[in-house]
Chain A
Amino acid sequence: MKILLTVLGVIIGFEVAAQTLVKGKVLDEKGEAIPGANISIDGTYDGASSDINGEFSFQTSEEGEQTISASFVGYKTYTQSVKLSGALLQLSITLREEINQLDAVVISAGAFTAGEEKRRTILKAVDIASTAGATADIAGALNTLPGTQKVGESGRLFVRGGDGNETRTFIDGLMVLNAYNPTAPNTPSRGRFLPFMFKGTSFSTGGYSAEYGQALSSALVLNSKDKSELNQTDFGILSVGGDVAHTHAWDHASLAGKIQYTNIRPYFGLINQRMDWIKPPVSIEGSSAFRQETGESGIVKFYGNFNHTNYSLYQHDIAEPAQKFSFDLTNNYGYGNVAFLQALNEKWSARGGVSYNYNHNDLLIDGSPVDEIEKGLHAKTVFENTVSDRVELKFGLEHILVDYEASRVDSTLGRQVQQYQDPITSGFVEAELYASKKLVARTGVRGEYSQRLGDAFVDPRISVAYKPFQQGQFSFAYGRFRQTPQSIYVRAESNLRPETAEHFILNYQLVNDKRTFRTELYYKRYSDLVKFVNGNPNNLTNSGRGYAKGFEFFWRDNATFKNLDYWISYSYLDTERDYLDYPVASTPSFASTHNFSVVGKRYVSAIKSQLGVTYSVSSPRTYHNPNMEGFNNSRTPCYQDLSMNISYLPKPFLIIHASVTNVLGRDNVFGYEYSSTPDVNGIFAGRPIKLPATRFLFLGVFITLSKNKSINQLPNL
Chain B
Amino acid sequence: MKPYVMILAMSLLTQMSWANDKYEQAMLKNIEAVYDAETPESIQQAVNTFERIGGAEKDKWEPFYYASFGYIMMSVREQDAMKKDGLLDKAQEVLKKASAINAQESEIVALEGFIYMMKVAVDPASRGQQYSGLAMQTFGKALGMNPENPRALAMMAQMELGTAQFFKSPIDKACATARGALEKFDSFQSSNPLAPRWGRHNAMMVVNQCK
With A7-B8, A74-B86, A710-B159 as contacts: A38 and B129 at CB distance below 8 Å: no
Chain A contacts for B189, CB-based, 8 A: none
From B49-57, B179-187, B193-201, the one touching the partner chain is B49-57
How far is A125 from B130 in the complex, measured between Cα atoms in Å? Answer: 11
Neighbour of A710 across the interface among B5, B47, B90, B163, CB < 8 A: B163
Cβ-closest 9 pairs across A and B:
A38-B48, A124-B126, A36-B44, A711-B133, A40-B52, A49-B45, A49-B48, A708-B136, A513-B81
With A11-B11, A711-B129 as contacts: A47 and B86 at CB distance below 8 Å: no
Chain B contacts for A46, CB-based, 8 A: 52
How far is A605 from B162 in the complex, measured between Cα atoms in Å? Answer: 13
Assess whether B90 is in contact with A73, with CB atoms less than 8 Å apart. yes
B26 interfacial contact with A, CB 8 Å: yes
With A44-B56, A49-B44 as contacts: A1 and B4 at CB distance below 8 Å: yes
Question: Chain A nearest CB: distance from B144 CB in Å?
Answer: 12
Interface range on chain A (Cβ under 8 Å from partner): 35 or more
Chain B contacts for A35, CB-based, 8 A: 41
Question: Chain B nearest CB: distance from A121 CB in Å?
Answer: 10
Most central of B11, B47, B56, B81 by chain A CB within 10 Å = B56
Assess whether A73 is in contact with B133, with CB atoms less than 8 Å apart. no
A688 interfacial contact with B, CB 8 Å: no
Assess whether B129 is in contact with A126, with CB atoms less than 8 Å apart. yes
A266 interfacial contact with B, CB 8 Å: no
B15 interfacial contact with A, CB 8 Å: yes
With A7-B8, A103-B82 as contacts: A116 and B22 at CB distance below 8 Å: no
Report A564-605 CB contacts with B as 1/0, cut-off 8 Å: 010000000000000000000000000000000000000101
Assess whether A603 is in contact with B56, with CB atoms less than 8 Å apart. no
Name A121-176 residues within 8 Å CB distance of B: 124-127
Neighbour of B167 across the interface among A4, A230, A652, A711, CB < 8 A: A652
Neighbour of A119 across the interface among B44, B56, B85, CB < 8 A: B85
Name A648-668 residues within 8 Å CB distance of B: 649-652
Assess whether A116 is in contact with B11, with CB atoms less than 8 Å apart. no
A706 interfacial contact with B, CB 8 Å: yes
With A119-B81, A652-B167, A707-B140 as contacts: A38 and B86 at CB distance below 8 Å: no
Assess whether B125 is in contact with A230, with CB atoms less than 8 Å apart. no
A410 interfacial contact with B, CB 8 Å: no
Total interface residues on B, CB under 8 Å, equals: 45
Chain A contacts for B137, CB-based, 8 A: 229-230, 707-708
Query: Which residue on A lies nearest to B1, using beta carbons?
Result: A1
With A4-B8, A8-B11, A116-B127 as contacts: A47 and B48 at CB distance below 8 Å: yes
Given contacts A37-B48, A40-B51, 9 further A-B contacts (CB under 8 A): A44-B56, A45-B53, A103-B82, A119-B85, A229-B134, A649-B167, A652-B163, A710-B132, A715-B130
Query: Which residue on B lies nearest to A651, using beta carbons?
Result: B167
Chain B contacts for A127, CB-based, 8 A: 126
A120 interfacial contact with B, CB 8 Å: yes
Query: Which residue on A lies nearest to B126, using beta carbons?
Result: A124
Question: Chain A nearest CB: distance from B41 CB in Å?
Answer: 6
Assess whether A36 is in contact with B45, with CB atoms less than 8 Å apart. yes
Query: Which residue on A lies nearest to B11, using beta carbons?
Result: A8
B211 interfacial contact with A, CB 8 Å: no
Chain B contacts for A36, CB-based, 8 A: 41, 44-45, 48
How far is A711 from B129 in the complex, measured between Cα atoms in Å? Answer: 7
Query: Which residue on B lies nearest to A606, using beta carbons?
Result: B168
Query: Which residue on B lies nearest to A42, using beta carbons?
Result: B55
How far is A198 from B43 in the complex, measured between Cα atoms in Å? Answer: 38
Question: Chain B nearest CB: distance from A16 CB in Å?
Answer: 13
B87 interfacial contact with A, CB 8 Å: yes
Main secondary structure of the interface of B (DSSP, over half): helix
With A44-B56, A47-B48, A116-B130 as contacts: A8 and B136 at CB distance below 8 Å: no
With A119-B85, A513-B82 as contacts: A608 and B129 at CB distance below 8 Å: no
Assess whether A47 is in contact with B11, with CB atoms less than 8 Å apart. no
A464 interfacial contact with B, CB 8 Å: no
Question: Chain A nearest CB: distance from B141 CB in Å?
Answer: 10
Name A83-141 residues within 8 Å CB distance of B: 101-103, 116, 119-120, 124-127
Assess whether B129 is in contact with A715, with CB atoms less than 8 Å apart. yes
Name B45-91 residues within 8 Å CB distance of A: 45, 47-49, 51-53, 55-56, 80-82, 85-87, 90
A443 interfacial contact with B, CB 8 Å: no
Assess whether B44 is in contact with A40, with CB atoms less than 8 Å apart. no
With A49-B48, A73-B87, A119-B85 as contacts: A708 and B41 at CB distance below 8 Å: no
A289 interfacial contact with B, CB 8 Å: no
Question: Chain A nearest CB: distance from B109 CB in Å?
Answer: 13
Chain B contacts for A125, CB-based, 8 A: 126
Residues of B in contact with A (beta carbons under 8 Å apart):
1, 4-5, 7-8, 11-12, 15, 22, 26, 41, 44-45, 47-49, 51-53, 55-56, 80-82, 85-87, 90, 125-127, 129-130, 132-134, 136-137, 140, 159, 163, 166-169
Query: Which residue on A lies nearest to B4, using beta carbons?
Result: A4
Chain A contacts for B132, CB-based, 8 A: 710-711
Assess whether B129 is in contact with A712, with CB atoms less than 8 Å apart. yes
Name A1-29 residues within 8 Å CB distance of B: 1, 4, 7-8, 11
Chain A contacts for B163, CB-based, 8 A: 652, 710
Most central of A43, A49, A651, A708 by chain B CB within 10 Å = A708
Neighbour of B82 across the interface among A45, A120, A708, A710, CB < 8 A: A120
How far is A15 from B125 in the complex, measured between Cα atoms in Å? Answer: 57
How far is A7 from B130 in the complex, measured between Cα atoms in Å? Answer: 57
A714 interfacial contact with B, CB 8 Å: yes
How far is A715 from B128 in the complex, measured between Cα atoms in Å? Answer: 10
The 21 listed contacts between A and B (C-beta, < 8 Å) are A4-B4, A8-B7, A11-B11, A36-B44, A36-B48, A38-B47, A38-B52, A40-B52, A45-B22, A47-B49, A47-B52, A52-B41, A102-B82, A102-B86, A119-B82, A125-B126, A229-B134, A565-B125, A649-B167, A710-B159, A715-B130
Assess whether B51 is in contact with A38, with CB atoms less than 8 Å apart. yes
Chain B contacts for A605, CB-based, 8 A: 166, 168
How far is A330 from B60 in the complex, measured between Cα atoms in Å? Answer: 64
Assess whether A230 is in contact with B134, with CB atoms less than 8 Å apart. yes
Neighbour of A708 across the interface among B80, B90, B133, CB < 8 A: B133
How far is A230 from B167 in the complex, measured between Cα atoms in Å? Answer: 21
Assess whether B51 is in contact with A603, with CB atoms less than 8 Å apart. no
Question: Chain B nearest CB: distance from A604 CB in Å?
Answer: 12
Chain A contacts for B134, CB-based, 8 A: 229-230
Question: Chain A nearest CB: distance from B176 CB in Å?
Answer: 15
How far is A467 from B49 in the complex, measured between Cα atoms in Å? Answer: 36
Query: Which residue on A lies nearest to B138, using beta carbons?
Result: A229
Chain B contacts for A649, CB-based, 8 A: 167
Chain A contacts for B5, CB-based, 8 A: 4
Assess whether B52 is in contact with A608, with CB atoms less than 8 Å apart. no
How far is A532 from B48 in the complex, measured between Cα atoms in Å? Answer: 72
Chain B contacts for A651, CB-based, 8 A: 167, 169
Chain A contacts for B41, CB-based, 8 A: 35-36, 52
Chain A contacts for B80, CB-based, 8 A: 513
Report A611-654 CB contacts with B as 1/0, cut-off 8 Å: 00000000000000000000000000000000000000111100
Question: Chain A nearest CB: distance from B20 CB in Å?
Answer: 13
With A49-B45, A73-B90, A119-B85 as contacts: A714 and B129 at CB distance below 8 Å: yes
Report A489-531 CB contacts with B as 1/0, cut-off 8 Å: 0000000000000000000000001000000000000000000
Chain A contacts for B55, CB-based, 8 A: 40, 42-44
Chain B contacts for A43, CB-based, 8 A: 55-56
Name A24-62 residues within 8 Å CB distance of B: 35-38, 40, 42-49, 52
